[in-house]
Chains A and B, each alone.
Chain A
C-alpha cells in the first residue's frame, strides 16, 4: 500500500514544480496542479476502499514510519497512518480540493498570478493531506503550520490592496496565538509521555487527569485558533478578503476543520481529562450561537458564510465536547461539502453581481439557474432541512447531546439551528428573490458549474451515509430518532419562516429599520462584532504598537545613542591621540631637529674662517690652561 505516500506527495511535487515556474506556466500550471490533485483523489478512493469495512481507529489499515531523529530514548519521525478517520478525511480533502481547483480555472483565469495561486493551493493540499495522514502529533503540527502559511499567502493573494494585506496578517497572528497553546501542549505531552505517536499517546497509556487536562486544554486552544472558535474567531471573517475559491477550500471546508480533526484525534486525552470536554462543549456552544447571531446581521455575502462557518465549526466542537466523535466528524464531512458549495456559489454570484453586498443584489434567481439550484441545495443543507446532508449530521449532534444529558448545550444548539435557518433564509431571499438591481447578469462557465454540481450531488446523498459512516469509524450507527428529526426540522422550518417573513414576502415589506432601532443595543453589539475586534484593538494591538513604538524610541535613543556615543568617544579619543602625536611625538622629533639646527647655527659662528682667530683661540686656551696649572698646581 505504498501508494498512500503518493497521495500527499503528488500535490507537494506540483508545488515544487510550480513555485519556481509560476510566472512562466499559466495553463500549464493549471494542468499540473489539477492533474496532481485528481490523481491524489483517485488514490484516496483506492485507499478508502482498502480501509473498508472500517473499524475502530486503533486498528490502522496501513502504517509506515521513517525515523529521522533520536532524542534521548525517543524516536522522532514522519509516518503515514491510514485508518477510517484519515481515509474519510482524505476523500473529503481531495474531492473538495479537486472541485475548488477546477472551479478556479474559471474564477481566476484573468488573474496575472494564477500560476502562484495554483502553487499555493497545491502546497496547501499537500499539507492538509500530510496532516490527516500523520501518525504523530509532531508531524501533524508541522503540516498544521504549513497550512497556516498557505492560508496567509492566499488571504493576502491580492496584496496590492490594503484589506487583504491586513487580513492576512491578522489571520496569521491570531492563529499563531492558538498555535502557541498547541506547541506548549506538545511539549507537555513529550515531557510526560516521551513520544508523539498516536498509538502510544492515544491508546497505549493511562493519562493522569491533571496532565490530560493540561494537554487537552492547550490542544483545544490551538484548535480554537485554527478553527476560529470564540474568542479567537476574529480572523476568519476578515480572511474573506482572499480569492473566493481559496476561501471555499481553506476557510470553509478543510483548514479550519483541522482544529476539529485535532480534537477528534486527541479525544481519548480529552476523555481522560473530563474537564477539557466540558470546556470544549462550552466553547463550541458559545461559538455556535454567537457566530450564528453575527451572521444574521452581516451584509457581505462572504462574511455571512464566514460567520456561518464559525458557527458550524462550533457545532462540531459541541459534538466532540459531548464525546460524539462520529457526530463531530460526520458534521465536518457534510459541512465541508455544503459549505464549499455555498462559497463556490457565492463566487459565481459575486462575479455576476460585481458586488459582495447583499443589499445591492436581488433577483438573481431568474438568471443564474444552475447556481440557484446548487446554492439552494447548499442552503437547505446548512439550515438542516431533510434530506440534505446538514440535516443528518446536525441531528446526530443533537442526539448525542440528548443522550449524554447536556440539556443546556442542546437548547443552545437548537437556538443556533434556528438562527442558522434564519440567516440562510435571509441570505437566500436577498440574493435570489426581490427586485433585480444589476443588469447584465450572466451564468458562469461550465468549469465553474460542474464542480458545484458535483458538490451539490454529494450534499444530497452523503447524509444517507450517516449510519454507515458511524459503522465505518467503528461505532454503533443508527438513523436519527423520529422525535429528534421532527423537532429539529420544526426549528429549522420556523427559522426559515422568520427569514421569509422578514425578507421574502413580495406583498408586504417589513420595516427592518424599525426593528433594528427597537433592539438598538443588541443590534449594535452584533453589527460591531460583539466589540471583540475593538477590544483586541484597544487592549492588545494598540498597547503592542505603543510598546513597539516605545521600544523603537528606546532603540533609536538609547541603543543607537550608546553606539553613536561609543563612536563619538572613539573619535574624540582619536583626536586626543592625534594631538598628542602632532604635538608631543612630532614635537620631540622636530624639537630635536630644531635643537641640533640651532646648536649648529650657533657653533658655526665659531668657524669664522680666519686662521688668526683660531690661532688666538688656541693661544687663549693655552694661556688659560697654563694659568690653571700655575694657580692650582699640577
Chain B
C-alpha cells in the first residue's frame, strides 16, 4: 500500500479536528495553547504534502511550513508568557475564570 496525498490530508484533518476539539473543550489555557499547536501542525502537514505532490521542484510548501513553525514558536512563547502573567495575577489559568469581557 503506497502512501498518497489523501492519507496526508486525512492525517491533517484528524489532527486539526483533535486540536479544534481540544481548543473548544479544554479548561486549562496551557492545554488550549497546545491544541492550537496541534492545529497549526495539521496545516503544516497539509502544506508539505501539497507541495510534495503538486510543485515538488519549488519546495515552497516546505519553506512555508518552516516559516510557520518559526511563527508558531514565537506565538507559543508569547502565549506562555501571557499565561504566566495571568497566573501571577489570578492564581489560576482556567479559561472559565477569565470572563471580564462578558457583556
Contacts and interface: CB of A to CB of B under 8 A. Distances in A.
A607 B102 contact: yes
B103 A605 contact: yes
B24 interface: yes
Contacts of A610: 95-96, 99, 102
Interface residues of B, number: 13
A607 B20 contact: no
B95 A606 contact: no
A346 B74 CA distance: 139
Interface in B35-86: none
A439 interface: no
B25, B100, B102, most chain A CB atoms within 10 A:
B102
B23 A612 contact: yes
A608 B102 contact: yes
B24 A609 contact: no
A603 interface: yes
A612 B102 contact: no
Contacts of B102: 607-610
A616 B24 contact: yes
B34 interface: no
Nearest to B29: A611
A565 to B, nearest CB: 58
A624 interface: no
Contacts of A619: 20, 24
A59 B80 CA distance: 140
A507 interface: no
A604 interface: yes
B23 A606 contact: no
A608 B103 contact: yes
Nearest to B99: A609
A615 interface: yes
Interface in A593-634: 603-612, 615-616, 619
B95 A612 contact: yes
A62 B32 CA distance: 135
Contact of A603 (B23, B100, B103): B103
A608 B99 contact: yes
Given A615-B23, A615-B24, A619-B20, A609 B103 contact: yes
A616 B102 CA distance: 16
A603 B99 CA distance: 17
A607 B95 contact: no
B11 interface: no
A202 B37 CA distance: 136
Contacts of B98: 609, 611
B3 interface: no
A607 B23 contact: no
B96 A606 contact: no
Contacts of A611: 95, 98
A599 to B, nearest CB: 12
B103 A604 contact: yes
Contacts of B20: 619
Nearest to B23: A615
Among A605, A606, A612, chain B packs the most CB atoms within 10 A around the CB of A612
B89 interface: no
A609 B99 CA distance: 4
A606 B101 CA distance: 11
A230 to B, nearest CB: 108
23 contacts: A603-B103, A605-B103, A606-B103, A607-B101, A607-B102, A607-B103, A608-B103, A609-B98, A609-B99, A609-B100, A609-B101, A609-B102, A610-B95, A610-B99, A610-B102, A611-B98, A612-B23, A612-B24, A612-B32, A612-B95, A615-B24, A616-B24, A619-B20
Closest 3 CB pairs of A and B: A607-B103, A609-B102, A604-B103
Interface of A: 603-612, 615-616, 619
Given A611-B95, A611-B98, 20 more contacts: A604-B103, A605-B103, A606-B103, A607-B101, A608-B99, A608-B102, A608-B103, A609-B98, A609-B99, A609-B100, A609-B101, A609-B102, A610-B95, A610-B99, A612-B23, A612-B24, A612-B25, A612-B95, A616-B24, A619-B24
